[in-house]
């Protein structure tokens, strides 16, 4: 273990909506003399505020939180504090969460059953710009998201029409204008399309539509 006096401490903020979990992580990292926990945040909104104030080197981020979840927080944090590295620490190993977190800008993905020394090393790796992925997260990434052959049959004609316009790059308001429907109706259709495709956002839905030729007759 590197002696903390030989170089600058790695400054960390812990983000998790469970106080007991935050304290446990804090206690675990306190055993490393080259890591300093600056603060703890119980929500995504609080995390953004603390990161602006404290300018951490590494942020340990939970995925599932009420309000702004870990993926949305990571995306916003990387825009506001681009120098901070986000290391996801969660109980969820499903491929969708792994892909969304990494796409949002996280440098690594760990599960909460990680050993203390492995967590500390992952923090050091993140600070050095190196990725650390739990083996379950790596396995999840290898498996591409499945698209059922009959998927397009689940989309109504109107939803296929909306998806086609999404693929063409139209905004919700532009789609509403073209289809002569309300903005709320378009939002409902887009939300339903994302759910049916298992897509996390409009861009992913559009990419799936093109890749799997979902709009071709």
Domain boundaries along the sequence of the chain? 4-142, 151-211
Among candidate residues 135, 137, 67, 143, the one with its CA nearest the CA of residue 106: 137
Can you tell me whether residue 51 is helix, strand or coil? helix
Q: Which helix (H) or strand (E) holds 41?
A: strand 35-41
What CATH code is assigned to 151-211? 1.10.10.10
Looking at residue 88, its pLDDT comes to: 96
On the 0-12 / 13-18 / 19+ scale of CB atoms within 10 A, 155 is buried
Stated pTM of the model: 0.65
Per-residue pLDDT of the chain (217 residues; tens, 9 = 90+): 444 446 799 999 999 999 999 999 999 999 999 999 999 999 999 999 999 999 999 999 999 888 889 999 999 999 999 999 999 999 887 777 888 888 899 999 999 989 999 999 999 999 999 999 888 777 766 665 555 545 556 788 899 999 999 998 899 999 999 999 999 999 999 988 888 887 778 887 888 887 777 887 5
Which residue matches tokens 């620490």? 89
CATH placement of domain 4-142: 3.40.50.2300
Q: Residue 25 is encoded by which pair of tokens?
A: 């992580």
């Amino acid at each position: 273990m590197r002696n903390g006096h030989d170089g600058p401490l790695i400054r960390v903020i812990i983000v998790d909506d469970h106080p007991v979990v935050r304290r446990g992580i804090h206690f675990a990292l306190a055993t490393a003399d080259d890591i300093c926990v600056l603060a703890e945040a119980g929500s995504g909104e609080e995390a953004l505020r603390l990161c602006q104030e404290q300018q951490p080197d590494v942020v340990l981020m939970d995925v599932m939180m009420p309000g702004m979840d870990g993926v949305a927080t990571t995306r916003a944090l990387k825009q506001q504090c681009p120098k901070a590295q986000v290391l996801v620490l969660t109980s969820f190993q499903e491929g969708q969460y792994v892909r969304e977190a990494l796409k949002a800008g996280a440098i690594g993905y760990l599960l909460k059953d990680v050993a203390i020394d492995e967590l500390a090393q992952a923090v050091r790796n993140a600070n050095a710009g190196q990725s650390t992925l739990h083996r379950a997260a790596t396995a999840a990434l290898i498996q591409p998201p499945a698209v059922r052959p009959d998927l397009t049959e689940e989309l109504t004609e109107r939803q296929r029409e909306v998806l086609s316009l999404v693929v063409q790059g139209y905004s919700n308001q532009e789609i509403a204008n073209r289809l002569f429907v309300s903005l709320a109706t378009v939002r409902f259709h887009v939300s339903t399309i994302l759910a049916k495709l298992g897509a996390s956002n409009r861009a992913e839905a559009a990419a799936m539509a093109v890749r799997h030729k979902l709009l071709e007759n």
